[in-house]
Amino acid sequence: MPSQIKTSVVESPSVRCVFGDIFGADLPARWQAFLARQTVPISAVKGGNDFYFNYAQLPEQAPDGASNLLEQMTWALLTHPDYDQVIWPLSNSIDNSRPLCLVPLKNHGRRSVMASGFIGLSRNEPHDSGRSPIPKTLCFSHALIAGKTQHTSARLSLSRHLKNKLSPEQKSFLKRKADALRELMTPPKITRTQATEYPLALAKSWHAEFIRPDLALNPKLTVHEPRIPVLIATHWLELGGAEKFAVDLVKALPKERYAVYVTTDIASFNHWQTDIIEHVEAVFHLPGFLPDHAVPVFYEYLIRSRHIRLLHLHHAARAYDALRHIRRFHPRLQILDSLHIVELPPNDGGYAEASARRFEAFINHHHVISQFLKNFLTQRWQIQDNKISVIYLNVDSHYFDPERVAKGQIRHALNIPDQACLVGFLGRFSAQKQPLKFIEAAQLLQQRWQQSGATRPLVFLMVGSGLLESEIKRAIRRARGTTILLHPQLQDTRPVYRDCDVLMMPSANEGLALVSYEAMAMQTPIFFTDVGAQSELLPAEFLIDNSAPLAKKFADAMWPYLIDAEKRRHAGVTMRRHICEHHTHEQTISQLLALYEHLLSQA
C-alpha cells in the first residue's frame, strides 16, 4: 500500500477503511458516528477476500436515513462477482423515496462523483497507486459498481498447508462439513417421475455457486430484546389495496413490542417508504442490490441476522419463492401471508392460488380479507379451517370522515359547478377495473338526464392512471355531449369522495375493494359490480350483476339516486354507520395483533 495512504480499522479487524492525503482529510467525526451505526461486513465468500472501505472528499455533514448502506453495498459485491468495487456518490446523497437500480454512468458522471466525493467498498485493496479508483463504472442510483474481476467459483477443498496442521479428527469433521456443503450446492439427479411428483422436496433452494454468507453485524442493529423482530415482505410501496394494508399495518404495530423490517420485491420509486421510515428498523429494496438468484439467500440471511420470529408476506412473489430455502434453515419461524383476491385468467388465481398450490407446506397461517377467500382455500384446496383467519381490511373512520374534509376542493380545482351532480370513478385505468364501461354508462345517464329536463349539469370524473389511459381519452372524445373529466391519481383521495355525489365502479374482478370501505366511511353512495366479496360489505341494491348489458344495468340502478338528493343522503349516512359499527381500522389492527401473538406463542 502506498506510504501516503493511512489505514484504520472500523468495528472489525477484517474490514480495512482506507483514506488519506490523495483523497483529502481524515474521516470527519459525524461520518465516523454514521458508519458506527451501520452494519459492518467481514470477509465471507469468494476466496476469503477482505473488504476495504475508502472515503473521498467527505463533507462535514453525514447523511440522514441511510440505514444499512454498507450492508447493501456488501451484498452487491457478494452477489456480483464480476465487479470488485461498490461506490456511493455523495453528489446524489440519499433519497429515501428512490430505490437502487442498475443504470450506466457516463464519463461526466464519473468526474462528478470524483469531484464531489464518495464512499467506496472494494473486494480487494482498492489502491495500489494514486490513480483513479473508478476506471469503469455502473451506477446503482446511489451506489456504483466499478471494475471487473475474473469470476471464480467457490472452493470446497482444504489447502495442503492447512491439512498438515490438522489432526485426523479435525480432518474428518471438516470433510463431513465440506461434503454436506457440496451436496447442497450440487444439482440433484432425479428421474422424470420424481420431478413431477415431488417438485418442492427435490428443488435446490439457492444458486449452485453461492455459499451461505455470514457477515459480522453491529450488535446494536440486531439485538432487539425485549422487542420481537418481524419481517414484512411486500410487492412494493406504491398505490394499491394490498400495499396500503401493509403500510397501515407497519405504522400501527407498537414499536415497544415489535422491531419491524420491510422488504420490497419489485423495482419501483416506492413513494410510500416515507410513510413508514420512522416506524421500522430498516427497509431493503431487494432489486437495487441483488440479482434474482440471490434473493432467497438474502431472505434467509436477513431472518438469521435479525433473529426474525415472524415473516408476514403481502403479495411478495420473490418472498414466496424463497420460502423453501427459508424453511430449510428456519423450521420454527412463523410464516403468515395475507391474501386479497382470486385473480382471473391469465393470472390463474393470483397469489391465493399460488399460496395454496405451491407454498402451502411452508406457511403456518393464512390471513384472508373475506369469507369468500376462506371458502376458496377450504373448498378448492382443502386447507384446514383453523389455519385461516378472516380479518377484513376495514378503514380508518376517523381519517375518512366527511366532517374533517372541506367540501368543494376537487370541484374548485376542476371548475365543476357547486350545483352539478358529480359521478366519480376512482381506481387504476386497467382492464380489471373496466373504466370503459364507466364511460358507456355515463353516456346512457347523460341521455336520461337530458330527457328528464334537469337544469343542473351532470358531470363525470375519472381519477386514476394506468395502461388504458390513452384508450380512455379516445373514448371520452367520442362521447360528445357527455362531460367526462380526468384527474391523475391522488395520495389523499378524501376530497374526491367528499365532492362526488355517487361513485360507480364496474370492476370485472375484486377481492373486497378498499375504495368501497373508504367511500362508505366518507358517506358517499357507491355502486359496484357483484364480484369477489363485494356482497360481504355492500347492500344488495348497490350491487350490479356482472353481465351484459353492464352499462345499462349500472345506469338503471343509479338513476333514482341521481335525481333524489335525500335518497343519496340517507344511503350515505347508513353506509357510514355500518362502517363505524363493523369495519373500523382499530378492529383490524386488534385482530391482527391477536393473530401475531397467537402465532408467536406456537413457535
Question: Are 359 and 274 in a shared domain?
Answer: yes
Give pLDDT tens digits for 520-542: 999 999 999 999 999 999 999 99
For residue 311, what pLDDT is reported?
A: 98
Q: What range defines the domain where residue 351 resides? A: 223-394+589-602
Residue 10 has pLDDT above 70, yes or no: no
Question: Are 597 and 552 in a shared domain?
Answer: no
Which position has the higher pLDDT, 69 or 245?
245
Residues 452-467 have a mean pLDDT of 94
For residue 440, what pLDDT is reported?
A: 98
Number of domains in the chain: 4
Is residue 548, in this structure, part of any structural domain at all?
Answer: yes
For residue 102, what pLDDT is reported?
A: 55
Question: Are 556 and 409 in a shared domain?
Answer: yes
Which position has the higher pLDDT, 190 or 282?
282
Give pLDDT tens digits for 71-86: 888 888 778 777 777 7
For the chain, the average pLDDT equals 81
Question: Are 440 and 493 in a shared domain?
Answer: yes
Give pLDDT tens digits for 323-347: 999 998 899 999 999 999 999 888 8
User: Distance between CA 535 and CA 546 in Å, rounded?
Assistant: 12
Closest CA to 376 of 358, 361, 357: 357
Question: Are 419 and 382 in a shared domain?
Answer: no
Q: Please provide the DSSP assignment of 429-474 as one string.
A: -SGGG-HHHHHHHHHHHHHHHHHTT--S-EEEEEE---TTHHHHHH
Which position has the higher pLDDT, 491 or 390?
390
User: Distance between CA 352 and CA 355 in Å, rounded?
Assistant: 5
CB-based burial label for 528 (10 Å; 0-12, 13-18, 19+): buried
For residue 125, what pLDDT is reported?
A: 59
Name the domain boundary from 172, 202, 232.
202
For residue 117, what pLDDT is reported?
A: 73
Is residue 456, in this structure, part of any structural domain at all?
Answer: yes
Q: Please provide the DSSP assignment of 25-62 as one string.
A: SPPPHHHHHHHHTS------STTT--EEEEEES--SSP
Residues 450-475 have a mean pLDDT of 95
Beta strands at 143-148 and 334-339: parallel, antiparallel or unpaired = unpaired
Question: Are 510 and 382 in a shared domain?
Answer: no
Give pLDDT tens digits for 206-226: 554 555 676 767 777 787 889
Is residue 210, in this structure, part of any structural domain at all?
Answer: no
For residue 229, what pLDDT is reported?
A: 97
pLDDT category of residue 275 using cuts at 50, 70 and 90: confident
Is residue 218, in this structure, part of any structural domain at all?
Answer: no
User: Distance between CA 241 and CA 249 in Å, rounded?
Assistant: 12
pLDDT category of residue 288 using cuts at 50, 70 and 90: confident
Question: Are 132 and 165 in a shared domain?
Answer: no
Is residue 214, in this structure, part of any structural domain at all?
Answer: no
Is residue 208, in this structure, part of any structural domain at all?
Answer: no
Question: Are 569 and 421 in a shared domain?
Answer: yes
Give pLDDT tens digits for 103-135: 666 666 777 777 777 777 776 655 443 444 444
For residue 272, what pLDDT is reported?
A: 81
234-248, 392-406, 435-449: segment of lowest average pLDDT: 234-248
For residue 174, what pLDDT is reported?
A: 63
Question: Are 10 and 94 in a shared domain?
Answer: yes
128-132, 262-266, 370-374, 592-596: segment of lowest average pLDDT: 128-132
Is residue 114, in this structure, part of any structural domain at all?
Answer: yes
For residue 391, what pLDDT is reported?
A: 97
For residue 268, what pLDDT is reported?
A: 77
Residues in the chain: 603
Residues 6+ apart with CB under 8 A from 335: 310, 311, 313, 323, 326, 327, 362, 363, 364, 365
pLDDT category of residue 5 using cuts at 50, 70 and 90: very low
For residue 217, what pLDDT is reported?
A: 73
Residue 543 sits in a domain whose CATH number is: 3.40.50.2000
For residue 269, what pLDDT is reported?
A: 74
Percent of the chain topping pLDDT 70: 74
Is residue 207, in this structure, part of any structural domain at all?
Answer: no
Question: Are 423 and 321 in a shared domain?
Answer: no
Report the range out of 12-21, 61-70, 127-136, 206-215 with the highest average pLDDT.
61-70
Residues 179-197 have a mean pLDDT of 45
Dmax over Cα atoms in the chain, in whole Å? 101
Locate 501 and state its grid cell: 355525489
For residue 153, what pLDDT is reported?
A: 37
For residue 122, what pLDDT is reported?
A: 76
Residue 19 has pLDDT above 90, yes or no: no
Question: Are 388 and 448 in a shared domain?
Answer: no
Question: Are 339 and 387 in a shared domain?
Answer: yes
Percent of the chain topping pLDDT 90: 53
Residue 439 has pLDDT above 90, yes or no: yes
Give pLDDT tens digits for 126-175: 544 344 444 455 655 555 655 544 433 333 445 555 666 667 776 666 66
